[in-house]
Chains A and B, each alone.
With several copies, the nearest count.
Chain A
Amino acid sequence: MMELPKEKLLSMYKTMTAIRGFEESLAEAVTGGTLPGFVHLGVGQEAVHVGVCTALRETDWISSTHRDHGMILARGADIKRMRAEIFGKVTGYCKGKGGSMHLAVYDKRATGCNGILGPSQTINNGVALALKREGKGNISAVVFGDGAAHRGEFHEALNFAACWKLPALAICVNNHYAISVCFDDACSVEDIAARAAGYGIPGLVADGNDVMAVYEAVSQTAKAIREGKGPALLELKTSRWRGHFEGDPQPYRTAEQLEADKKKDPIARFGLQLIAQGIATEADLAALKAQADKELQEAIEFSDKSDYPGPEELFTDLFYTERRAG
């Protein structure tokens, strides 16, 4: 842990609490009936978001999933415009046209979520190919769930990336469920990472509830990829605390299972580590959380006050149009 400066560690902690606050505020909005559509919350998976993004360079690229508002926030996106997008406002990153399921923040090199499971894994190869040609040692990471690891794209993408030795990092976030289907019922091996053997690439497993373990696993894997050694597959084991989507009654798992999962709270765990190592006091951590809460409140206000896109937006962005200078 010493490897990272204190400010960095504190900022990681703050981002983890910010992500949780963001997600919980969305859950409230669903309960309150103010949030249109459906959202998939990443509560419990903050160590993945912050660990991955801390390990990547700003000049790397990343795509993530329907459960990864947190990933985009951890990439440094503006929480105001994130919130606005999820509420369909024109001030959102996608002018309200994408919503939660298509949130993308290109200026942070975060291409966000794909509504179709699978394609992001092959698209990642194209981004990686461009980075390889650029030759600056940047990599492209794709994050997908344990469920999405069973789509044909997983296979095509990894073989392709391995053949072309692309700087591509495949990160499988195994939270043990795909909607209601338990990982053990949908997969015949214990670790998705075991599939790396079929492509002759490294396959690693790390504890996805431990932000520092995630950080280290991604850093090391990324290092080899930057050196031109070709793609790798990294599996992060974690769990989701809420339903697949907000409103999911979760008949497929018991309250005890869920409680056991919650005991592995990545934020509490990281907080204890920081305190134990003398990097922060409880008060410091509380102050970070308070700061995050304040920013969230501002974001909520910003989003609430923002307008919906008008009909003039119906056809813009469908096809390329020359932009005017200035």
Chain B
Amino acid sequence: MREITYAEAIREALRHEMKLDDKVFIFGEDVGAFGGCFGVTAGLFQEFGPERVMDTPISESAILGTALGAALMGLRPVPEIMFVDFTTVCFDYLTNQAPKVRYMCGGQVEKLPLVVRTTSGGWIRAAGQHSQSLEGWFTQVPGLKVVMPATPYDAKGLLLAALRDNNPVLFIEEKALYATSGPVPEGEYLVPLGQADVKRAGKDITLITYAGMLGHTLAAAQTLASAGIDAEVVDLRTLSPLDHDTLAKSVQKTHKAVVIQEACEMGGVAAQVVKSLVDTSFGFLDAPIKTVAALNTVIPFSPPLEDITLPSADKVVQAAKALMS
């Protein structure tokens, strides 16, 4: 199969859906002729014109409010918030508004097709306010779906599924993955929301991860294999709703688990994963579930410090080995 990048896969999903359905439209800061801060929407303005791909003022609340109003009217907006770090200035829309409006009006609004795209993660030396992994806030919100793809294949398939979902979806893309490549079918396919994926089968220990840490975790699994440890790697893909079943199935087989996330130890979804496994699989666990995560500090600018702050394949290997011994 042809290989394209994660960024191209996302663009392909957007283009596909925009061609099919003229209710789908994109807007946000610099998404137009500029093609987006990370180039994801490059070419779409040229292809679909200024009615379908619109630049906005720097007004994140107005971006999401406009999107929500348009979705209420049956359009299918795909607004972009440049960095997930900026969701803090339009947080109400992702928590009190979009996820609640249908419930609070007793279902008078039937569909609410709203996919908010944003970007996450570190390693670009952008310091404390442009490097965070903040998905853990959003997985606490009933009524909101949260998706974080780790591969180009999943990025395209999950985004297409999100665009058809008729619910508010927060679609978080990993900056560090944009340039990574992988096989992606040309045509249409959906990766259903809410299903985790076993990215490597194994029998000795389950490594649970998502988004940018998948690559590091697979590398760790490779290293562990050469040390005789056969790790299973589960990619969550959708963080809310969490796929409790796939997690349980894997851990009930391996009896051990490490959760790996780029978010800091006190953030992210590690705690929710641990809670899920304690709930479903306590009797199957041979050892405590461990977490590999960023340190509980602000992400520092200085490159050597950022590198120690964020998690690494090495730390995954260490954590897994400690559990196996």
Contacts and interface: CB of A to CB of B under 8 A. Distances in A.
B107 interface: yes
Interface in B83-111: 85-86, 88-89, 92-93, 96-97, 102-111
B156 to A, nearest CB: 22
Of the four ranges (under 10, 10 to 19, 20 to 34, 35 or more), the interface on chain A belongs to 35 or more
Contacts of A116: 85-86, 88-89, 92, 96-97, 129
B127 A125 contact: no
Contact of A127 (B37, B69, B125, B295): B69
Interface in A84-110: 88-90, 92-102, 104-107
B56 A186 contact: yes
B201 interface: no
Contacts, number: 261
Interface residues of B, number: 71
A219 interface: no
Given A37-B125, A37-B127, A179-B37, A96 B302 contact: yes
Contact of B58 (A36, A88, A178, A319): A178
B73 A127 contact: yes
B260 to A, nearest CB: 20
Contacts of A101: 126-127, 129-130, 301
Given A99-B302, A122-B66, A319-B143, A151 B106 contact: no
Interface stretch (A268-276, A294-302, A305-313): A305-313
A146 to B, nearest CB: 9
A101 B302 CA distance: 12
Contact of B107 (A38, A95, A111): A95
Interface in B67-88: 67-75, 77, 85-86, 88
Contact of A118 (B61, B124, B304, B309): B61
Interface of B is mostly: loop
Given A94-B104, A181-B58, 14 more contacts: A97-B298, A102-B301, A116-B86, A116-B97, A117-B58, A118-B61, A122-B65, A122-B68, A122-B69, A147-B58, A151-B60, A181-B29, A185-B55, A311-B305
B229 interface: no
B5 interface: no
B142 A37 contact: no
B112 interface: yes
A157 B66 CA distance: 9
B325 to A, nearest CB: 26
Contact of A159 (B62, B86, B88, B167): B62
Contact of A96 (B165, B166, B295, B305): B305
Contacts of A179: 29-30, 34, 37
A107 B108 CA distance: 8
A48 interface: no
B130 A318 contact: no
* A-B residue pairs, 10 tightest by C-beta: A126-B69, A122-B65, A99-B301, A115-B129, A37-B125, A130-B73, A88-B302, A180-B34, A94-B106, A96-B302
A98 B70 contact: no
A264 to B, nearest CB: 24
Given A125-B69, A147-B58, A36 B96 contact: no
Contacts of A140: 69
Contacts of B182: none
Nearest to A103: B105
B30 A102 contact: no
A239 interface: no
B305 A121 contact: no
A156 B105 contact: no
B274 interface: no
A251 B64 CA distance: 27
B32 interface: yes
Nearest to B67: A126
A111 to B, nearest CB: 7
Contact of B130 (A115, A119, A323): A115
A130 B106 contact: no
A41 B217 CA distance: 38
B297 interface: yes
